[in-house]
A and B are shown apart, each in its own frame.
Chain A
Amino acid sequence: MDASELISTVTTIRPGISQREKCNRPSVVIESVNLLDIMWSLQSREDLGFDMLLSHTAVDWIDEGWFELVYLLYSTKHGHYLMVSTFIPRESPVIATVSPIWKIAEWQEREVYDMFGVLYEDHPDLRRIFLDDDWEGFPLRKDYKDDFMLERPE
């Protein structure tokens, strides 16, 4: 499917899905409470068939107080891509896990937990992946500080 057809099909899955502007790939924004249902539809519907989760990451919008969680999906059958974003509040970053749908999500979500502190509900093995288990703080947050960091002189 080409980009516009894809967007129009996806936005009809459920109310509350809108297109994300300012992105060079077809991209939609969804509500975080509907994440699991929408992801199941995206994976199982024949015309969409997104069977691969290429990437999952987060962006820290500290000024607005949100974490934007980004899922990049690909369909090996149809060859189209979709970027799905959802926003969760920074103060209590909780979201459902999509690891029942795509196995790789288990470890991609562990990385997001390690770097941002996003907590995933019902995750099979939620723990840090790169840093030690007893590390304090979440490095990729914009307000992260520790003793090792050096500031670049401007």
Chain B
Amino acid sequence: MNISVSSLERRINHGICGEGPIATEEYFINMGPQHPSTHGVLRLLLKLDGETVREVIPVLGYIHRGIEKMGEKAGYRQFVHLSDRIDYLSSLMNNWAVSMVIEKAANIELNDRIQTVRTILAELQRIQSHQLWWGVLGMDLGAFTPFLYGFRDREKLSDVLEKTIGARLTMNYIQPGGLMFDIDSDFVKDVKLFMDYFKPKLAEYETLVSENIIIKERLRGIGVLDAKSAVSLGTTGPVLRASGVMYDLRKSEPYGMYAKTAFEVPVGQSGDSLDRYLVRIVEMRQSLRIVEQLIDNIPDGKYFVMKPAVKIKPPEGAYYSHVETARGILGVFMVSDGKGSKPYRIHLRTPNFNNLWAVTAIAPGWRIADLVAIVSSLDLVVPDIDR
């Protein structure tokens, strides 16, 4: 029955004197908010013994913007714009998550065209996100060239999306009731050209990085996360699947057009960094497969099922809905008081917030170079952690 509020200083001191008397060869070093490898403003306090990491204490809040509070002031329609900015590499999937919960709450029925286009865009965004992750992983491990190869190919995909959507990062295209505007007339042709371009490049990625012995030695057996810990730590997405737990919303609760497409979900065996790496490479290939099946058969129909500028008023109640983004499960929990056009409470269950804490469990015992490889293989985007 003990309630005591702690502080960062007390936590660090506990970290120093945690087990037994102070060991003088251990020291704290700050992998600060500005660091080439923390993928954003993430601060990690490392307790080191020489080069070996004994403890990792993440310190958050450097990009906390109060998105959930803003959601209570913005309306249902406008929250979609805010959802782009959490995990900006999967912004279309974030839009979809928010739109889905509002549509379920307000009982809005969608047509097949909208669902097909949403699915295609989500899978293309998954490929785009993984391309960036792949390049950055190479750079973190010291190979600077994959970064540019990944970005070169990502630019081609960004061009395709930009023609239809108008943006390259914060897409803001999927809204409750459908899409913001119809897809471009060249969309199908451009996507097919991109897929023909990218397939051999994916094979090149494998040769350049996946089969490089130095990369394999840097990733194999590093940072093993077993299935039980992964589930208890609430990890989702490729991190969880690499540890051997098959949990993918696209298969377990299909939304969009996933029920009608054939694809496989890779599941790893040992939960080390190499498995997390390979799971994402296979996911890229499977995403291409999904897009291939859907791109030729986009049904006709309206792109927005409601009258424009109608105010959405979901009935009173609590609603929860989630999607599988590139990094894990993004869930939106929404409470509506039935009165206004603004949510009473909206909470985002973000994948990166829940994946981050796996670092505290798997990093101790490895070296700094391995810590960089582990954080890179977890694929964190920090605005998603802080919201």
Q: Which positions in A face B, CB cutoff 8 Å?
A: 20-25, 27, 51-55, 57, 59-60, 70, 72, 76, 79, 83, 85, 94, 102-104, 106-108, 111, 113, 115, 119-123, 125-133, 139-140, 152
Contact = CB atoms under 8 A, between A and B. Distances in A.
Contact of B344 (A59, A123, A129, A131): A59
A131 B64 contact: yes
Contacts of A79: 252
B320 A83 contact: yes
Nearest to B3: A119
Contacts of A132: 61
Nearest to A125: B6
22 contacts: A21-B317, A24-B105, A24-B317, A24-B319, A24-B320, A52-B231, A52-B234, A59-B318, A60-B345, A72-B320, A72-B333, A103-B232, A104-B357, A106-B357, A121-B2, A121-B3, A122-B2, A123-B3, A127-B6, A128-B61, A130-B60, A130-B386
A55 B316 CA distance: 21
Interface of B: 1-11, 60-61, 64, 66, 68-69, 73, 104-105, 229, 231-234, 236, 245, 247, 252, 315-321, 329, 331, 333, 335, 344-345, 347, 349, 353-354, 357, 361, 386
Nearest to B321: A24
B331 A54 contact: yes
A17 B344 CA distance: 25
A5 to B, nearest CB: 17
Contacts, number: 117
B229 to A, nearest CB: 7
A102 B234 contact: yes
Residue with the highest number of chain A CB atoms closer than 10 Å, among B5, B60, B68, B234: B234
Contacts of B3: 94, 119-123, 126
A25 B69 contact: no
B318 A121 contact: no
Contact of A139 (B69, B232, B315, B386): B69
B68 A70 contact: no
Closest 6 CB pairs of A and B: A22-B317, A104-B234, A55-B349, A130-B61, A130-B64, A57-B347
Contact of A102 (B10, B232, B329, B347): B232
A104 B272 CA distance: 20
Contacts of A122: 1-3
A111 B321 CA distance: 21
B96 to A, nearest CB: 17
A127 B7 contact: yes
Contacts of A123: 3
Given A60-B345, A108-B234, 18 more contacts: A21-B317, A22-B315, A24-B320, A27-B318, A54-B329, A54-B349, A70-B318, A76-B231, A104-B234, A106-B357, A115-B68, A120-B3, A121-B1, A121-B2, A127-B8, A128-B61, A133-B7, A152-B73
A107 B68 contact: no
B349 A126 contact: no
B238 to A, nearest CB: 16
Contacts of A120: 3
Contacts of A119: 3, 5
Contacts of A23: 317-320
A20 B318 CA distance: 9
Contacts of B105: 24
Nearest to A27: B318
Contacts of B320: 23-25, 72, 83
A59 B335 contact: yes
Nearest to B338: A22
A126 B11 CA distance: 10
Nearest to A119: B3
Contacts of A125: 6, 11
B232 to A, nearest CB: 5
B104 to A, nearest CB: 6
A15 B252 CA distance: 32
B322 to A, nearest CB: 8
Given A59-B335, A125-B11, A107 B231 contact: no
A22 B7 contact: no
A129 B42 CA distance: 12
B5 to A, nearest CB: 5
Nearest to B66: A139
A129 B319 contact: no
A104 B60 contact: no
